[in-house]
Amino acid sequence: MASSQARVIRVLVADDHPVMREGLCAAIDAEPDMRVVAAAGDGAECIARFREQVPDVALVDLQMPGVDGLGAIAAVHGEFPASRIMVLTTYPGDARIKHALALGASGYLLKSATREDILDAIRQVAAGRRTLAPEAALDLALYRQAEGLTDKELEVLRLAADGHTNKRIAARLHISEDSVKARMRNILAKLKAGDRTHAVTIALRRGFLDR
């Protein structure tokens, strides 16, 4: 009688926090249908380890030194279009989520998720299904009709977030102060913000300023 052995899901874990990375590896290796084949502490290492192992699923943090998680996702998916990548991060935010999915992520989970939820999400992604944390799905639903910020508006908002005045922003971008004010008006309207400080707060929460 032929024996049927369940296929083992080969996983890469990329997270710059050693305790988090080691905890994830231990939890995954404790499952009979999963095995960690590589671990990485930054985006560049994640890309290198993926090339070496070509895992079934890559579990990737967004906030990592050097090449961040989004950069790693873009590089891996560009080289391996069939790759299955799951984001595991502290941060929700519709712009951040949309960007990760657009770059090739198949799942988006928060680090506040239970171990069981993380393991189940790995299985879902390995099976070719998209999985989103409830908070991520809610963010996408809340802002489904919201208009995004243009690259020029993001330039202004990033400089405003760094504390630059309109005059300094204009000088940095080689545009007029009136153009800066016009872009800021558009930003406030799109984000439904009362002032630039409020706009920066909203943009950070939604993930615009990660890009």
Residue 63 in tokens = 């906030």
Instruction: Name the pTM for this structure.
Output: 0.80
The tens digit of pLDDT for each residue in 49-63 reads 999 999 999 999 999
pLDDT at 129: 95
- Cα–Cα distance, 68 to 108 (Å, whole number): 15
- Cα–Cα distance, 90 to 10 (Å, whole number): 24
* 60 SS3 class: strand
φ, ψ for residue 135 (rounded to 5)? -65, -40
pLDDT at 34: 97
Domains and CATH numbers, the chain: 9-142 (3.40.50.2300), 151-210 (1.10.10.10)
pLDDT at 145: 77
* 11 SS3 class: strand
| Nearest residue to 105 (alpha-carbon basis) of 135, 145, 75 | 75
pLDDT at 75: 97
pLDDT at 3: 41
10-residue mean pLDDT series, the chain (211 residues) = 67 97 97 97 97 97 93 96 96 91 95 95 96 91 85 94 94 95 95 93 87 50
